[in-house]
Structure 1
Amino acid sequence: MDDIGRNVRVTLQPTPTKQLESYEVFATPMTAADLPKLHELSIGVGWPHRPEDWALAIELGEGIVARDEIGRVVGSAMWFPLGDAFAAIGMVITSPRLQELGAGSWLMGHILGRVAERGKVLNATRAAYRLYISLGFMPLSPVHQHNGVVGALPAGPRHARVMHPQDAAAIHALDSVAMGAPRPALIDRLLQMSTGTVVERGGAVTGFALCRKFGRGHVVGPVVAESEEDAIALIAPHAEALEGQFLRMDTRQPEGPLRDFLVASGIRHYDTVTRMGLGAVPQAPGPALTFGLVNQAFG
């Protein structure tokens, strides 16, 4: 990445250095060397990300860090490409002492300048919602975080099968349709680190779910299917294999059979954030739809 602060195309016109009352911070490109301090930062605000989760984000995205005068990392922000036309923004964190001093706006100014004309989507916590509204983002839909220790699964559809290596091309195609944009590098990487299930009809894969280690345990996502029934069938083998362990799923699905299944399995509703967009946003034409996110940063 070139020097932070060049070619900024947003109203904020951020500078590489910002004075926050008597506290000066500096914006620098994010690198893998920042991983330990970024992990400390996320722990400080209660996020569950492991160093491995940060490493995946750094591998697949582009970011900046805010450092204080003695080199401590006190803020972060990242973006991830969704094809050539869109971007997902995430991992936006400021240390608690700086949250009320404009650090979030300053970091976002840098990221919006880097993303430039791409359409932008993000998932906003309650604490960050007003910031994103002030930057022109519009609310799109709620995202419901479910997590918990998996118990005995209720009765439900069980027509998914184990993913095979030859399913990879179909999984890429389904994710692009359901996301409304391609993200081949992300899906390739997830296929390397996940177990998977698929639904197949007439010899064609019509849905899939990937499950991997994340945060306090595991996460199921993405989950792409043509119906809630198929989504449940895709999730069930992962939940069954993880009985007694912590499992998370983030979904835009409203109350109904899928979320009832999660709750009955011990994967209870924990929090709600808001999916927001600025400019054009990806559109999913169907019939394949996203029932479970990769995580809140990637979408």
Structure 2
Amino acid sequence: MAVQDVAQIVMRDMTGADIAAVADLCFEQQWPHREEDLQTLLSIGSGLVAEIDGRIVGTIMAWRFGETFATLGVVIVAVAHQGRGLGRQLASAMIERLGERTVLLNATEEGRPLYSRLGFAEIDTICQHQALAPGQTLVPLRAGERVRPMGAADAEALAALYNSATGMDRRILLETVLAEGSTVVLCHEHEQKGFAVLRRFGRGWVIGPVVAPDVTGAKALIAHWLGMQSGSFCRIDVPEASGLGTWLEDIGMPQVDRVTRMARGAAPVPGEAAKVFALAAQALG
């Protein structure tokens, strides 16, 4: 079969009408994204598709977090068109649109060489854990601490925690996941110290983002949702440096995959009040 002439590739903005085709590409890659997940991702970001003869054969999405940072995700090239530089064309086009922002992404093993050539440097590893949620896992709270449902008055405090923990302006993302999911808050003497969101995603439920002052607080938040979803399929994506990996394995949430977090430009500098212990999604960081 002749190699496809690159002149026949049409690159354009992704629209809501493209989501079914994007979901088909995800299915081909054995990614779990539902059409609803992709619609949400597009609603808070932007995307490009590559077409050949009117058929979508490549995708990329991006999310801007203020004027300084952005993330890339849902970078897919149809199997029949891989190895022809289409992924590089999509990534380069989107990076150009993002201007001077630092761009972050989570790269698969297959994609990592491409991003290295585009100027991305490795900064972390993200570990994907998933399984049917185990039974109640008890994590003792410390004196003065409690985990409670989020209230309307918590929104500003949680946004400040998330922004500080990521070193980025994540308000729009947080508003979206809070509206889609259920959230619990870790408090100490009535002061918000962390939170964890549970929402539908892929094959079942995802726990994330999880923001906490330390690993003990993170475990308490995660254990709450695992206990509530006992027997349901749950996923959680945690930084390798979080200290949660062994604990998750021990309670029945095995690691099934890992990706490399990479940055093109100066990486964000998190604050000291709280840390991110689980991602909102691999694409979003």
TM-score, with structure 2 as normaliser: 0.94
Match in the other structure for 2:45: 61
How far is the alpha carbon of 1:47 from its aligned partner? 0.6
Match in the other structure for 1:145: 128
How far is the alpha carbon of 1:203 from its aligned partner? 2.2
Match in the other structure for 2:180: 193
Alignment of 1:165-244 (within 5 A): 165-244=152-231
Deviations along 1:14-38, one digit per CA (max 9) or x if unpaired, are xxxxx96347321010010101111
Supply the AA of the counterpart residue of 2:188.
R
Partner secondary structure for residue 169 of structure 2: coil
Match in the other structure for 2:113: 130
Partner secondary structure for residue 160 of structure 1: strand
The answer to whether the 8 A contact 1:172-1:187 is kept is yes
Deviations along 1:71-106, one digit per CA (max 9) or x if unpaired, are 221110111011111101111111112221111101
Match in the other structure for 2:104: 121
Supply the AA of the counterpart residue of 2:208.
G
The answer to whether the 8 A contact 2:164-2:274 is kept is yes
- What CA distance in whole angstroms lies between the structure 1 residues aligned with 2:165 and 2:128? 19
The answer to whether the 8 A contact 1:154-1:261 is kept is no
Match in the other structure for 1:80: 63
- What CA distance in whole angstroms lies between the structure 2 residues aligned with 1:174 and 1:190? 15
Change (3 A) 1:64 1:155: same
Match in the other structure for 2:277: 291
TM-score, with structure 1 as normaliser: 0.90
The answer to whether the 8 A contact 1:153-1:264 is kept is no
The answer to whether the 8 A contact 2:238-2:278 is kept is yes
Alignment of 1:31-42 (within 5 A): 31-42=15-26
The answer to whether the 8 A contact 2:208-2:278 is kept is yes
- What CA distance in whole angstroms lies between the structure 1 residues aligned with 2:177 and 2:3? 39
Deviations along 1:269-293, one digit per CA (max 9) or x if unpaired, are 0111000001122110212110000
Match in the other structure for 1:252: 239
CA RMSD of aligned residues (A): 1.5
Q: Which runs of 5+ in 2 are unaligned?
A: none
| 1:280 maps to which of 241, 260, 266 | 266
How far is the alpha carbon of 1:230 from its aligned partner? 0.1
Supply the AA of the counterpart residue of 1:88.
T
Match in the other structure for 1:16: none
Supply the AA of the counterpart residue of 2:43.
E
How far is the alpha carbon of 1:264 from its aligned partner? 3.0
Supply the AA of the counterpart residue of 1:279.
G
The answer to whether the 8 A contact 1:150-1:265 is kept is no
Partner secondary structure for residue 219 of structure 2: helix
The answer to whether the 8 A contact 1:123-1:274 is kept is yes
| 1:44 maps to which of 21, 28, 34 | 28
Partner secondary structure for residue 111 of structure 2: helix
Deviations along 1:167-194, one digit per CA (max 9) or x if unpaired, are 1111110000011011221111111111
Supply the AA of the counterpart residue of 2:33.
H
- 1:92 counterpart = 2:64: no
Q: Identity percentage over the alignment?
A: 35
Q: How many equivalent residue pairs?
A: 279
- What CA distance in whole angstroms lies between the structure 2 residues aligned with 1:239 and 1:76? 33
- 1:164 counterpart = 2:151: yes
- What CA distance in whole angstroms lies between the structure 2 residues aligned with 1:22 and 1:217? 40
Consecutive aligned runs of 4 or more in structure 1 exceeding 6 Å deviation: none
